[in-house]
Amino acid sequence: MRMERSGKPGGRSWCSRLARAVLFAAAVAVTATAVRAEPPAQIVHGIAMHGAPVLLPGFEHLPYVNPEAPKGGTLRLGELGSYDSLNPFVLKGVAPSGIRDYVYESLLVRSADEPFTLYGHLARGIELPDDRKSVTFHLDPDARFSDGRPVTADDVSFSWQILKEKGQPYHRAHYGVVARVDILSPGSVRFTMGEGGNRETPLLLGLMPILPRHLIDAATFDQTSLAAPVGSGPYRVSEIDPGRALTFERQREWWARDKPLARGRYNFDRIRLEYFRDQTTLFEAFKAGEIDVRNEDDAGRWADGYDFPAAKDGRIERGELPTGWPAGMTALVFNTRRAMFADPRVRRALLLMFDFEWLNRNLFHGHYARTQSFFARSDLSSHGRPADAAERALLAPWSASLKPGALEGTLAMPVSDGSGRNRDNLKVAIELLRDAGYVSEGGRLVHGVTRQPFSFEMMAGKRAEERLFQAFARNLAQVGIAVQIRPVDSAQRWARLKAFDFDMIQWSWGTSLSPGNEQRNRWGSGSADSENSLNFAGVRNPAIDSVIDGVVAAKERPEFVAAVRALDRLLLSGDYVIPLYHPKGLWMAWRSELKRPDRAPLSGTALETWWKVP
């Protein structure tokens, strides 16, 4: 079913829009004159972190959509774990995916086809001075919450205030650098940066979720809630089955349905999330036709698990979709808050005992590439690239934090002969453990002074993780290290992660072609003890803090790339994680009635651009 468009010239809706636009423009002009004497910055339709937006004003739709995609049908997605709250903005509770994407909207929308470019959405106009010390957003007069109330500058200011005070740690960090918020008119709001603001801050404010002030009790905002949320987005929550399922229903009167950024997107009438306790059950549901699309992350399953009838007769399609996005970092993470892992010699020894070549051949059918960088599969990676002059200048004060070969780009993960014995690497690992004070005693590795056995726990959230952990534990047992593998359910896992209550975990940090402030939340000293941060390794390194500052402050792409590669060299030198592996593309499988645009975005895929045929 094709969405009908309204607002033809001469119609009542078109006239009312024109009147609102005239009033909007007049309000902006009057307010700007009243508030400041200096000439205003140019009002633009989009902003980029580096360079200029690719799409020009007046673009009709995003380049990676089918603007004629039909509407209709239900998309059924499988999720692991459970949920106990529909509030995704606070520390308490576990919220389902989708709330932020489908229900709540931001002032600006990110293009999946550019490294970091935002285009106007709730805010159709942006004023951004060259120094980026302030940003002014002019709201689209058509913008409405799903209850029909207009989105106003007061809602924007309220959202900033409550998320800064009671939101997730990254909300508090991003929005806390704003020194002042001025409501210039009901449709215009200006943020002025204070200490700690940087070039990325205006973009982060543009991505801030906008909440309806008239429906939110600030006193209870930080509590869990299973009440259906109200936002301005393309969907509303229609069915709530706590912990087991959640259904989103498309808003047929969505305020932005005819806007350029909406064309060809959000095509399903309903999106239903089904929750499963483990990957095996989820996969069986996909095979049985209860789930429509699947991102595969298990190489063994990808190699030989798709021989069921629906995949053989064409009801299921699958492929490795190309992507221009970095692979990110999937790794075994050392909790350096633990005494045994605070010693970099111990971390290096365990890294040497991880036998990727044997694992890839015996468990993963050779489908994976070893991850050699925190930004693998992109030009942001330092692997195989000597540092240029800009990088060397950034890293000059921190040479003590770099391993030999880091500047030359020759750092690489240890390689074994794939036999499973890994003898050469084992010898080096044993020497490192001896240097760290450990001795062999009765087949066990103990500390020479405290006599404490070297033992630790690996917390597993998936069966695939357990299989990997078991293989690694067998290697460690060769030198007398005892590993306990502890499976936990989703609720336990998240509770322990929030409190950093673990020795070692497997984790994946996704990334984009424009990493920025989120790196502080992952590797910055300030986040090492911040509950619910993603600094699971507990990294505290002034060199890393300094280079992250350089990443965020970079104005031009070459300067930015140099700073990211410098960060990569420092993280690799610290051995904070044992990098694992990644596929060359995106492994996806989907039911044949799902269709996608001919052209994929830079990110590889965008599910909101797909549609279903009868």
Residue 33 confidence (pLDDT):
34
What is the mean predicted confidence (pLDDT) over 356-378?
Answer: 93
Distance of CA 13 to the CA centre of its chain: 39
Residue 289, in any domain of the structure: yes
Residue 14, in any domain of the structure: no
State whether 382 and 398 are in the same domain.
Answer: yes
pLDDT band at 315; cut points 50, 70, 90: very high
Phi, psi angles (nearest 5°) of residue 182? -115, 125
Is the pLDDT at 163 greater than 60? The verdict is yes
Tens of pLDDT, residue by residue over 109-160, are: 999 999 999 999 999 999 999 999 999 999 999 999 999 999 999 999 999 9
The CB density around residue 58, as the number of other CB atoms within 10 Å, is 7
State whether 442 and 317 are in the same domain.
Answer: no
State whether 133 and 254 are in the same domain.
Answer: no
Quickly list DSSP for 497-539. Answer: HHTT--SEEEEEE---SS--THHHHHH-GGGTT-TT-S-TT--
With CA atoms as reference, report the closest residue to 205 among 311, 107, 343, 281. Answer: 107
CATH code of the domain containing 347: 3.10.105.10
Is the pLDDT at 1 greater than 60? The verdict is no
State whether 180 and 247 are in the same domain.
Answer: no
Q: In this structure, what token pair is assigned to residue 267?
A: 């095509």
State whether 170 and 314 are in the same domain.
Answer: no
State whether 342 and 197 are in the same domain.
Answer: no
Average pLDDT along the chain: 91
Residue 226, in any domain of the structure: no
User: What is the 3-class SS of 577-602, one letter each residue?
Assistant: EEECEECCCEEEEEECCEECCCCCCC
State whether 494 and 594 are in the same domain.
Answer: no
Burial class (CB within 10 angstroms; exposed 0-12, middle 13-18, buried 19+) of 222: middle
Residue pair 401/574 in contact by the 8 Å Cβ criterion: yes
State whether 390 and 464 are in the same domain.
Answer: yes
CA 459 → CA 279, 282, 296, 328, 356, distances in Å? 16, 21, 22, 21, 20
CATH code of the domain containing 290: 3.40.190.10
Residue 464 confidence (pLDDT):
83
Those residues with Cβ within 8 angstroms of residue 608's Cβ, 6 or more apart along the chain or in another chain: 101, 265, 266, 267
Residue 25, in any domain of the structure: no
Residue 31, in any domain of the structure: no
pLDDT band at 84; cut points 50, 70, 90: very high
Is the pLDDT at 260 greater than 90? The verdict is yes
Residue pair 326/583 in contact by the 8 Å Cβ criterion: no
With CA atoms as reference, report the closest residue to 189 among 166, 164, 213, 159. Answer: 159
Residue 184, in any domain of the structure: yes
Residue 1, in any domain of the structure: no
Last residue of a domain, one of 178, 195, 220: 220
State whether 199 and 333 are in the same domain.
Answer: no
The parent domain of residue 148 ranges over 40-65+88-220
What is the mean predicted confidence (pLDDT) over 566-594?
Answer: 96
Residue 40 confidence (pLDDT):
64
What is the mean predicted confidence (pLDDT) over 554-564?
Answer: 92
Is the pLDDT at 34 greater than 90? The verdict is no
Is the pLDDT at 12 greater than 50? The verdict is no
Residue 400 confidence (pLDDT):
95
Those residues with Cβ within 8 angstroms of residue 327's Cβ, 6 or more apart along the chain or in another chain: 371, 376, 377, 378, 582, 583
Residue 421 confidence (pLDDT):
79
- Side-chain-facing half-sphere of 255: CA atoms under 13 Å: 23
What is the mean predicted confidence (pLDDT) over 520-534?
Answer: 93
Residue 555 confidence (pLDDT):
86
Count of domains forming the chain: 3
Quickly list DSSP for 105-123. Answer: -BSEEE-TTSSSEEEESSE
Residue 522 confidence (pLDDT):
97
CA distance 512 to 507: 17
State whether 560 and 597 are in the same domain.
Answer: no
CA distance 200 to 556: 12
State whether 592 and 569 are in the same domain.
Answer: no
CA 583 → CA 295, 329, 466, distances in Å? 12, 12, 20
Tens of pLDDT, residue by residue over 67-78, are: 999 999 999 999
pTM for the model stands at 0.75
Tens of pLDDT, residue by residue over 441-471, are: 999 999 999 999 999 999 999 888 999 999 9
State whether 283 and 360 are in the same domain.
Answer: no
Residue 470, in any domain of the structure: yes
Last residue of a domain, one of 220, 253, 285: 220
